[in-house]
Structure 1
Amino acid sequence: MVIRCGLVTVNKEPVPLKGIEVEVEVKDHVATVVSTLHYENKEDKAIEAIFVFPLPADAAVCHFSAKIGQTEIVADVKEKQEAREEYDDAVSSGQQAFLLEESEQSPDIFSLSVGSLPPGESASIRLEYVTELAVEADDGLRFCLPVVLNPRYQPQGSEGRGIQVTSVPASLVPYSLSFSARVSSPRQVSKVDSKCSLEPLQYLNKEQTQALIKLAAGHKFDRDVELLIYYKDAHQPTAVVEAGKPSAKPGTLMGDAVVMLSLYPEFPQAVMSSLATSGEFVFLLDRSGSMQGARISSARDTLLLLLKSLPVGCYFNIYSFGSSFEHIFPNSMEYSEKTMEQALKKVKEMQANLGGTEILHPLQHIYSQPCIPSQPRQLFVFTDGEVGNTKEVTSLVKKNSSSHRCFSFGIGQGASTALINGLAKEGRGHAQFITGADRMQPKVMQSLQFALQPAVEDISVTWDLPKGVSVTPLSPPFTNIFQGQRSLIYAQLTGQSSEETDDCVTVKYSLAGHLFQSKLGFTLQPTEDTGLTVHRLGARTLIRDLETKETEKDGEVKKKVVDVSIQSGVSSSFTAFIAINKGSRKAIQGPLLHRRIPVARICSTSQRPSSGICSTSQRPSSATFCALGAPAKVKKGRRDLFMMKSPFCPLKSVADPIFCGGVPCNSAESSNEKPRDPLLQLVSLQKASGCWELNPALAAVLHKTNKQVEQTKPAKVNGNVWATVLALVWLHGLKSDAQVEWKLLARKAVSWLVAQNAPCMTECVIAGNTLLGCSVEKDVLGL
């Protein structure tokens, strides 16, 4: 009998992964991440350890190596099938081998196989990647180290194999994590926020342009490690020119210089003040089991805000989905008081009770509906992003990108960055992530403002370079630009010039019938001390663009992806990293023991039913299982990542429970019903036209009696005018910190007031200030 010692899983199997060390170097808006994974085999037989884990979808994995004792083996990038065969051959012959590969279904999931680790042997795996930092609504730069990987739901009939994940509740992850980040920028680092516990921020110089961040001890794996980094004057255009690799051939991607340009186009205020008053707004809400609790409650509140903020004269509809999908109206309806109230009644009844995460079918139905003339379609997708057919979904959005813009929202820990970012990128929209205690409403309302901005058209990029230097774009053509949002351009610069000139790139675009341009000057002199970071990010950008064009019949595109991947040393869906310790050949006594390394999921241990019976009568249509139990048998040769089957609960996925033992599986994020936010109470009383009615409900929200409100009304003023002025004064005077949430509906209220041509507006504002104890100027209200 094997004595089980060391770290063990919930299935009492030893875990060879002892700890993970992560060091991050953030330079301006680019992060280099180095993860070191420490393995030790404490069993009496050789093992193969398989670890399926998340990475950011846009990361460029550029280094993979293993250290056994004093021997270091650096991996090579090879075509995926070739790498798999080499790995299997090495393991079968007793050699230590290491294989790192990207999932074919989703670029944010990787599999690391550590093969033929002898008894008592230790190994350290070093993984390095570079990634851009996304710009948040408040100008913070978001860095996220994913540590939570919820099992991905694989819809029935979808293409490809399922993504199989071994997961345990966050409290049972049996290895440690240490994390530190060093931040440097030409601009001052003003602050760093995080949902995780951090040690106090350490500035490393008096200018405060360099800082050190450390994760406090005892991280529990109950959330991703997320940092929000704020620089002073963050919206400054930048240009970085990086010299090519000396040993690479000139004229190749790695042999030439590569430039990275960061642009922040600013639209004229006159154009921005005229938001669209038309459009077809389609909201698609995830109601799968994993949305239970706080997630679905926040989504309902967000839909309330969205419906109240829509412009009069637009069209709208609301879809929701799980294993099946529903819609409030058969087709999009004109926005009116009647249709808004019908929709709100349905929204109040929405629960996370539709089972799985079949997002493809509702999208197909939406795209099958004819577009409404002169009403540009804007699609808003809300999901926790735990699906296995990511590429199939994003390909569908890309196919229909000419007919709409897509704004996506990833809800909760473990949301797939590949799905959320992919929906927005292919749909010419914008992506947002809502994690921890984040309020969904501010981020969603910012995206609604983007959707109401006039669409940018006829985008072109023009390069002004000296004679003898040519440019090859690595980034796909721009399809969208939003006010204040960063646009990145990567390009390969071939050739040299003896002239010292001011080089520049100009982005031209048409907006609301007018032609505008943004120009950025730069020098061809390479920036110092950048390594090959820019080259790798440029290669990653080119690879991702090519992968979206690849089809089964297009072997040339696949070949180019493989060539770029091998040349740059950056991973792709068609390649893998392979490292073999050729000096470790040793006959294996009996079959290798397979050990799956568990990752964290948001689910507490109390959710495992002791009876072995699931308490729900609803059964999913797709046979994917909770990732808790023993692995299915693995065939010889490079195998599919196997599915972990649970003896407890035949649900489709831990990520999408309906109930497991009577307890919602994401109860860590659930909460009891809280008293309703006064802001949302006020918003719920607004009419579709933009006005409020004078009634006891409004008085209650304002914390006044109906008599007080009636008696202070100026004599010549209509009741609804008075109520609307009071609501605006209350918003500006007492809820100014949440202005991003109510800005659009307040604008609609002001438009309604102006249309009434009501007398005594100054008197109304003064009376409203007196009643509510505020001091809001009439001009501030926009009257």
Structure 2
Amino acid sequence: MQRGFWTFVVGALAALFANLAQAQVVIIDHGAPIIRPPVVSRPTPPPSVYKVRTVDMNVTVKDQIATVQFSQVFQNVSSQVLEAQLLFPMPENAAVSQLTLLVDGKELVGKLMKKDEARAIYESIVRQRKDPALLEYLGQGLFQTSVFPVPPQAERKVEIRYQQLLRSESGVTDLLLPIGTHKHAHHPIESMNINVRIETTEPLKAVYSPTHTIDLSRPDSTHAVSKLTLNHVSNPDDFRLLFGTERGAVGMSVLSYRPKDSEDGFFLMLASPDVRPDAKPLPKTCVFVIDRSGSMTGQKFEQARGALKFLIQQLRPEDNFNVVVYDSAVESFRPELQRADEATIKAALGFADGLYAGGSTNIDGALQTSLNQLTDPKRPNYVLFLTDGIPTVGELNEQRIAAKAKEANKVNARVFNFGVGFDVNSRLLDRLSRDHRGQSVYVRPNENIEASVSALYRKIGSPVLTDIAINVEFDAVIPAATTPLISRTYPRQLTDLFQGEQLVWVGRYRQAGTAKVTLTGVAADEKKTFSFPAAFVAKSNDETFGFVEKLWATRRVGEIIDELDLRGHNQELVDELVRLSIQHGIMTPYTSFLADENVRLADSSNAARASGVARRELEKVDGAAGFEQRSFKGQLQNAQNAPAGGAGGGLPSVAKSATGRPNQASTATRPRPGSPFDPTAPSDDKALPAESNLRQVGQKSFFRKNNQWQDSTVSDEQAKKAIRIRLFSREYFDLAAKHAALAKYIAFDEPVLVNLGDTTYQIDPEEPEKS
């Protein structure tokens, strides 16, 4: 009987193999030596001989020691007996101990090969299968197990257990888990669960994932639990989690990345308050503003009522509050602010139960009534404003409404908006959010209003430090500096720091070296100051913190769109938007035409075309088009992490809710597939979907042009001088060995034009075999 043959490798799946019923999974080296769990790759042919049922990773981290338990259940769905073999690339100097590999509870034996012997195996597989994926592992050792059979329709459970010393750099400890191994599996993975428990000796401050939106709980100052659950997963990225420790009421971690010393670098600051179960949040004032116009009738209003009752019940006795409801007229629960005592809370809940929907929409009147009630600037003041429509009564001009609200806000209150459905004036809500240092959350028709409102309030319900400001003072200053040493920081306006949350602040830096970072804020009417040492690297040696650049670019694109939307056309900003879209593969509704294979990236008309699309689309202030593009804009501005790579990249991994945690309204932050504001959709009938012509690989963006993949950094002049190398030739393998850390950029099975270091290479198809 002929049997298929699978090969498992500890690491990230990067390739599919034709011509053999054998498959190989490979890893991507992210700089830190790690051991990768075994994963089943997609065999070809046949294309569907196995299916991964579940993937579970349970990790316990004690300071820098990680204990990993990985398990995966897969099924042979073919009619043949298949054999499986496990290959583990072993990174050089990997600080790993107690590695145990089991299949259905039985430990497998194997052979450990040094890097020279392993390199021959890697090259042999690449040559035989005509697939370049394993090139990334030249220079690494290899652990190869014995072969075990998998009967037809049978399931096997693969487990690996190991301990590892995690790398610590720039004040953060770095955990990397390889769920990206399944990136090209033929079938979606039914379920994937990653649980990480962190315990530290020193107080734990920042806990941050640059790759995924995690559900994070922090029971006390030295423990945290991160959970990630994914269902029907087709294209996961490797999971990465960073955490830092520091004594004091506030901790800060500063990460910097500078790929070119001739250009400004990129930094990310994570500011986190101390976590104490007995900590008392600052007393605050909240005004809840609810639209009860006729368009809110039915389930929509019942959900809004539920959201209002939730907000009222979350108030603490020391808080002040009021409720404002509006249709054609404006009505308040009480004429003035109330203390949230037991009797008043009960009365407010009764007021909510008695509300009904009907009438027009007096947005201006509601804003004036709510803001004029706020009179104490010493307390944190928040307005939560919900509407499902456009102003139809009172002041109708959006700019005058915004100007009047700005004038009425005497206490620097934060305004958080909820736009419900496609009929809202989304540009007005964004204008209010920007003017009052808040945020706009958009809830699609038939999505749960209560889930979105409660998610946001859980974030802002417990302020610990308000009116935050950050200053960076370098130890050695550039003489006669004419431009700021720190610039283009996002979020553009810093707000408050909340219990259980952290500030994620990104920007550019001109000067390298050590510095003192000072964070100031107000707590209980007292100014607080916290200082931290930081280092800004002169030039990065690798791409360990490359995600910082991508996150900055993502937020910068969102900020550019916001400027064009609220302040009008600016050609310099459009030019920058086009440049960032090309460089980082961030396709927006206004630049998705760049992924058309027939559009030259260096075409001088690209900016004019983007300008025309932006002018036309940003005029739409309501309807599905207005909703989609401002929801997408907010998604970019509030991105907590950036894409790690993969085909069709460019859309950031963003918080699925106001807190960065998944909830029932998570799709409110995502453009509707196929809409004009889906970044993977064409901007006109002639353009092609971005996802088919754009790939993110590490720090590079590759566009499909002229039947090949082109590195976006390659200029026309560089392309003319490119060194031509045949795929799978001796020169090809030597190039991969020479640029081991960059080998992933030539691991294409199609022609590719790429810059490696200071040289441009054209990788051509291999010569056809002579008959």
TM-score (norm 1): 0.37
TM-score (norm 2): 0.38
- Structure whose residues are more often strand by fraction: 2
Greater RCO, CA 8 A, separation 6+:
1
